[in-house]
Structure 1
Amino acid sequence: MKVLVVGSGGREHAMCWKVAQSPLVSELYAAPGNPGMAELAECVPWDGDVGQLAEWADREGIELTLVGPEAPLVEGIADAFLARGLKIFGPTQQAAMIEGSKAFAKGLMERLGIPTARHKTFSDVLDALSYLETVGAPIVVKDSGLAAGKGVTVATSLQQAKQAVANILSGAEQAEVVIEEFLSGPEVTVLAVTDGITIRPLLPSQDHKRLQDGDTGPMTGGMGAICPYPLASGLMTEILERVLKPLVDGLRAEGIVYKGVIYAGLMLTDEGPKVLEFNARFGDPECQAMLPLLETDLLELALAVVEDRLHEVKLEWHPWASACVVMAAPGYPDDPHKGLPLSLPLQPPEQVLYFQAGTRRGPQGLLTNGGRVLSVVGLGEDLKKALERAYTGVAAVKFEHALYRRDIGRKVVTNVG
């Protein structure tokens, strides 16, 4: 069958890599893709217009589309494809509001009794600043809209919180800010696929959002991930029953059938798991760490979702561990340097995968073309070995002044060891 993967990042490269292994695929396309994806698929120029892409897919006879990034989902790419009778793995615009508006997601969690941080939403800067005076710091300030994973400020001082509020509410018309209590505990990502009725949780993982070692520095889109994260016994069942099922069932009761991937970003507090955020797609870089462990055919899984037969699918996993280290361009996240040369080893080290993100092809080879440039994934019989291989893979890349964390997975390895 003819398959299209939408996106151009490391997540989408990993999706292409996994889809290309399916015997069901006859032709694979990527829009707009990147140089790494071009080795697996035919890249299609695309400027982000969802209607235009739906028209192209209809004309070319694309039989299934998988969407990676959040922006086209929030803009209604699934609706545009479904209107033409095209199969697409990803939620509708209405369902994607769980990510498109944090204010919407918070209101939904309140209605459905899903555990989350106490919060308030503001559109007026003076009201928000006045509220900050009453609650003090530490406090968390979030841009309600899409911010590529960088719209969150964990403010340790009142001044930092006020600056974050001012930055968000003065940045765009109809902006909203969500101010919520500071929670403490380990963070974990639980991804699940659903056809609107059946829910299949995937392996839990842990993202590392801060730029620098020790969870310091600015928030980023994610600097690395480990998978699986060792959840305590019974915790996945609790997350399924208290978070995922209420979300899917509650949306359906409100007339919204959610089909695709649910991303639950959770804090494991002393009071139990609480939702930090919902996203409407695979996480990046969690996807790069998780997909190499998935033994089940990703294309068969996506088809089962869009055809309302997920109950027929039993997920199979390789009994390994995975670690992903992101290599970013100098200047990331504020002003990443583009056009810097980099080269990958002709023969990757053992059990190492390279997923490209912010790259482009120049006359002499690969060049940086964005903030997060590469996801380097190591696989092993345990997390310690997976991390060793990931960092061996990092060392084999020629990329001067690359930014990357040297402590991915360290807390888990220390606690387990």
Structure 2
Amino acid sequence: MKQVLIIGGGARESALALKFKQSPQVDHVYVAPGNPAMTLLGVDPINIDDNDFTKLIDFAETHQIDLTFVGPEVPLAAGIVDAFQAADQPIFGVTKKVAQLEASKTFAKDFMARHQLPTAGSKTVHNAIDAHAEAATMGLPLVLKKDGLAAGKGVAIAQDAETLDETIEKMYADSPDATVLLEQYLAGEEASVMALFNGEKRVILPLSQDHKRRFANDRGPNTGGMGAISPLPQFNDDQVAAAHQLVDATLKGMQADGLDGQGVMYIGLIFTPDGPKILEYNMRFGDPETQVLLPQITNDFYQLISDLLANRQPSLTLSDKAYACFVAVNPAYPSSALKTVPVIVPTDWPEGTWLPAGVAKSDHGWESHAGRIFSVVAGAESLPDAVKAAKTAMEKIQGVLDYRTDIGFHTL
């Protein structure tokens, strides 16, 4: 029987741990660092930071881990895969070199330009004066992105001149020589397409849709994700095929540039009147999209990943159900001023319907001082039924927490 180690600690990693646990080949799943409530899922959190590569490799060696799977972007960008490979430990994820497609907005834009991949026009600036000058020539609305990892919160949209000036000054307040991407605003509906790959071998998962804004009707600041749905019935077969073509074109470009290896690719798309265009690359599973994608996979997930690692083309079988995910958050999220709040933990719920993220145990019971605290997931024969079931379940355990009530509104 196989031993699996998941790197990360959020609801995405809870979903991954359960998916591997369902494999008839897997005996034990560990999550580093995980969170204490994961023990309720039948997996073992281990108290090792996800950026402590030395301790993680030592754990993998001493516990004879057969596969390590990396969830979050920070350890990928820091080179965890390179470190594990140097220690001859099997791991699934992109190398530090490939992770630049997510870690650097300008690297990704240069890659897209080089391989003629459709995306918004952009300019790169390195100081506030140039930012104001270039923005004046590009017009409004304008999208601004600070280079580097931002946990899903690094995008600002300026609809008017006052917001534009304030955003530029804020971005350069603490780092006057920061690299900032100014990007044309694209109108359309967004979707995420994710693929598991090795070289040009890949399996592409159904389209999903994240809800980034904090409040209903897409109001408020960007967050790490307030909920997700999948699949997306509003997009026709031709649109889905076009999204798949962008995955394959990206993989072909990566091979041409020597960006070799395996892992997860996540393309953030926007479907414009001129076809889908690439908003961004993430080189790992999205959160909360993972929570609605993994339940659709009906074949052995451990075998699927093992096949890719062995450079074999894996099979993929999918359920015909739709899934919705609602994320419970601290009422003050995404502010950094987060107070500790009590958390209601459900009992006797079906496996995979409650996925803990920032949940801890104290003398007072389950509680959290995190931003995103847990995900509630439901599947049904139709997307409206899945959304209704997930929302009803969330209402039962919301307590003092908050959540976005309109998940799926673009489609429904």
Q: TM-score, normalised by structure 2?
A: 0.95
- Tell me the distance in 2 between the aligned counterparts of 1:239 and 1:258: 22
Q: Where does residue 44 of structure 1 map in the other structure?
A: 46
TM-superposed CA distance for 1:338, in Å, is 3.7
- Tell me the distance in 2 between the aligned counterparts of 1:149 and 1:326: 15
- Tell me the distance in 2 between the aligned counterparts of 1:343 and 1:210: 24
- Tell me the distance in 2 between the aligned counterparts of 1:130 and 1:264: 30
TM-superposed CA distance for 1:276, in Å, is 0.5
Report the CA distance shift for 1:404/1:336 in structure 2 as closer, same or farther (over 3 A).
Answer: farther
- For the pair 1:345 / 2:346, whether they are aligned, the reply is yes
- Tell me the distance in 2 between the aligned counterparts of 1:20 and 1:338: 33
Q: Deviations over 1:150-191 (max 9, x none)?
A: 000011112222322333334348631111000011100001
Report the CA distance shift for 1:282/1:291 in structure 2 as closer, same or farther (over 3 A).
Answer: same
- For the pair 1:151 / 2:151, whether they are aligned, the reply is no
SS at match of 1:396: helix
Q: Where does residue 19 of structure 1 map in the other structure?
A: 20
Query: Would you say the 8 A contact 2:330–2:371 is kept in 1?
Result: yes
Query: Would you say the 8 A contact 2:189–2:271 is kept in 1?
Result: yes
Moved more, 209-218 or 155-164: 155-164
TM-superposed CA distance for 1:304, in Å, is 1.6
TM-superposed CA distance for 1:117, in Å, is 0.4
Q: Where does residue 4 of structure 1 map in the other structure?
A: 5
- The equivalent position to 1:106 in structure 2, one of 98, 109, 124, is 109
- Tell me the distance in 2 between the aligned counterparts of 1:352 and 1:379: 10
TM-superposed CA distance for 1:358, in Å, is 1.4
- For the pair 1:122 / 2:111, whether they are aligned, the reply is no
- For the pair 1:249 / 2:252, whether they are aligned, the reply is yes
- For the pair 1:72 / 2:75, whether they are aligned, the reply is yes
- Tell me the distance in 2 between the aligned counterparts of 1:171 and 1:103: 20
Report the CA distance shift for 1:229/1:336 in structure 2 as closer, same or farther (over 3 A).
Answer: farther
Query: Would you say the 8 A contact 2:98–2:260 is kept in 1?
Result: yes
| Number of equivalent positions | 408
Report the CA distance shift for 1:45/1:375 in structure 2 as closer, same or farther (over 3 A).
Answer: same
Q: Where does residue 411 of structure 1 map in the other structure?
A: 410
SS at match of 1:94: helix
TM-superposed CA distance for 1:289, in Å, is 1.1
Report the CA distance shift for 1:166/1:302 in structure 2 as closer, same or farther (over 3 A).
Answer: farther
- Tell me the distance in 2 between the aligned counterparts of 1:50 and 1:155: 39
Report the CA distance shift for 1:202/1:81 in structure 2 as closer, same or farther (over 3 A).
Answer: same
- Which segments of 5 or more consecutive residues in structure 1 lack a partner in the other structure? none
Q: Where does residue 320 of structure 2 map in the other structure?
A: 319
- Tell me the distance in 1 between the aligned counterparts of 2:316 and 2:24: 17
Q: Deviations over 1:131-164 (max 9, x none)?
A: 1122232110011100110000011112222322
- The equivalent position to 1:194 in structure 2, one of 182, 192, 197, is 197
Q: Which amino acid aligns with 2:385?
A: K
Q: CA-atom RMSD, angstroms?
A: 1.6
Moved more, 117-126 or 167-176: 167-176
- Tell me the distance in 2 between the aligned counterparts of 1:305 and 1:121: 36
Q: Where does residue 239 of structure 1 map in the other structure?
A: 243
- Tell me the distance in 2 between the aligned counterparts of 1:353 and 1:119: 41
TM-superposed CA distance for 1:67, in Å, is 0.6
Query: Would you say the 8 A contact 1:227–1:321 is kept in 2?
Result: yes
TM-superposed CA distance for 1:399, in Å, is 2.2
- Which segments of 5 or more consecutive residues in structure 2 lack a partner in the other structure? none
Written as runs of structure 1 = structure 2, the 5 A alignment for 1:378-417 is 378-400=378-400, 402-413=401-412
Written as runs of structure 1 = structure 2, the 5 A alignment for 1:227-376 is 227-230=230-233, 231-241=235-245, 243-309=246-312, 311=313, 313-335=314-336, 337-348=338-349, 353-376=353-376
Moved more, 18-27 or 55-64: 55-64
SS at match of 1:214: helix
Query: Would you say the 8 A contact 1:264–1:277 is kept in 2?
Result: yes
Q: Which amino acid aligns with 1:363?
A: D
Query: Would you say the 8 A contact 1:221–1:284 is kept in 2?
Result: yes
Query: Would you say the 8 A contact 2:143–2:156 is kept in 1?
Result: yes
SS at match of 1:26: strand
- Tell me the distance in 2 between the aligned counterparts of 1:4 and 1:111: 37
- Tell me the distance in 2 between the aligned counterparts of 1:161 and 1:24: 54
SS at match of 1:96: helix
- Tell me the distance in 2 between the aligned counterparts of 1:352 and 1:50: 29
- Tell me the distance in 1 between the aligned counterparts of 2:164 and 2:147: 15
Q: Where does residue 204 of structure 1 map in the other structure?
A: 207
TM-superposed CA distance for 1:307, in Å, is 1.6
Q: TM-score, normalised by structure 1?
A: 0.94
- The equivalent position to 2:88 in structure 1, one of 85, 88, 94, is 85
Q: Deviations over 1:387-414 (max 9, x none)?
A: 11101111110421x221111112312x
- Tell me the distance in 2 between the aligned counterparts of 1:91 and 1:262: 9
- Tell me the distance in 1 between the aligned counterparts of 2:241 and 2:231: 16
Q: Where does residue 169 of structure 2 map in the other structure?
A: 166
Query: Would you say the 8 A contact 1:169–1:176 is kept in 2?
Result: no
Report the CA distance shift for 1:42/1:173 in structure 2 as closer, same or farther (over 3 A).
Answer: farther
Q: Deviations over 1:230-256 (max 9, x none)?
A: 221222222222x21121111111212
TM-superposed CA distance for 1:269, in Å, is 0.2
SS at match of 1:412: coil
TM-superposed CA distance for 1:46, in Å, is 1.7
Report the CA distance shift for 1:174/1:54 in structure 2 as closer, same or farther (over 3 A).
Answer: farther
Query: Would you say the 8 A contact 1:136–1:158 is kept in 2?
Result: no
Moved >6 Å (runs of 4+): none
SS at match of 2:68: strand
TM-superposed CA distance for 1:273, in Å, is 0.1
